[in-house]
Amino acid sequence: MSKPMYSGIEGKVALVTGGGRGLGKAICLALAGEGAAIALTDLQSADETAGEVKKLGQKAMAFSADVTKEAEVREMVDRIVADWGGIDILVNNVGGEHAFLLEDMLVSQWDWTMEINLKGLFNCTKAVVEVMKKRGGGKIVNIASLAGVRMTMYGGIAYSAAKAAVIGFTRHAGFELGPFKINVNAVCPGSTLTEVVESRMTPEVKEDMRQATALKDFVLPQDQADAVVFLASDRARMVTADR
């Protein structure tokens, strides 16, 4: 394995939610490449990603915990702490959306979007705070979206509202947890060419996506993962959300 580029990650324990594919998988592999042990949860592909982490020479632990269920999150965190001693990095990556217009959206669809994007983030963050305090600090990175800053052109109103709330949550958590040396930040990806996104595109839509970027190139999951790795490293020692 190549020498890590970023200090402060090697030997640390990272928990990544939604780590089975797409951006979550890229984050797992990027952190593993910097020397972190990876615990990840995903309802579909956790074992596959864990296997790839192990091929990089790092420890991996796979879960199928539903992050919207507090008891499942607590059980997962307790297992990680019991086996590996603690958690130093949390990446709240799980999210989802329904692409319906406001007048067509069902209450159940609104509720699901809020649960998967917000309740899961709350459950996981709350569960690791005491663990990180005991470790003397930690790094929490929330995957928000440009939809939370502006709006989404591809999803629905619930997604824009939920991701705006993720940004607000990040800001407030950074203020609360800063005194305990816990950095809290958010990454706000725009349209990213994951396998799932690409599978839904015609060649014409894919080219439109490329042309819509300032650099006229596709944003890949690895590009977003690089930002997460920076925020989890010592180089971001004084980078945190605040009021």
DSSP H or E stretch at residue 130:
helix 120-135
The candidate with the shortest Cα–Cα distance to 124, out of 48, 23, 18, is 18
Active-site position among 63, 110, 159, 169: 159
CA–CA dist 216, 81 (Å, integer)? 44
CA–CA dist 30, 156 (Å, integer)? 30
**159 catalytic residue (yes or no):** yes
Dihedral over Cα of 52, 57, 63, 68: its sign = negative
CA–CA dist 229, 177 (Å, integer)? 20
CA–CA dist 125, 17 (Å, integer)? 11
The angle formed by the CA atoms of residues 94, 98 and 99, to the nearest 5 degrees, is: 130
Structure tokens at 206: 């894919």
Amino acid, single-letter form, for residue 213: T
The angle formed by the CA atoms of residues 125, 69 and 75, to the nearest 5 degrees, is: 75
- Residue 105 has a CB neighbour count (10 Å cut-off) of 16
> Cβ distance 185 to 241 under 8 Å?
yes
CA–CA dist 32, 13 (Å, integer)? 10
Indicate which residues carry an active-site annotation.
159
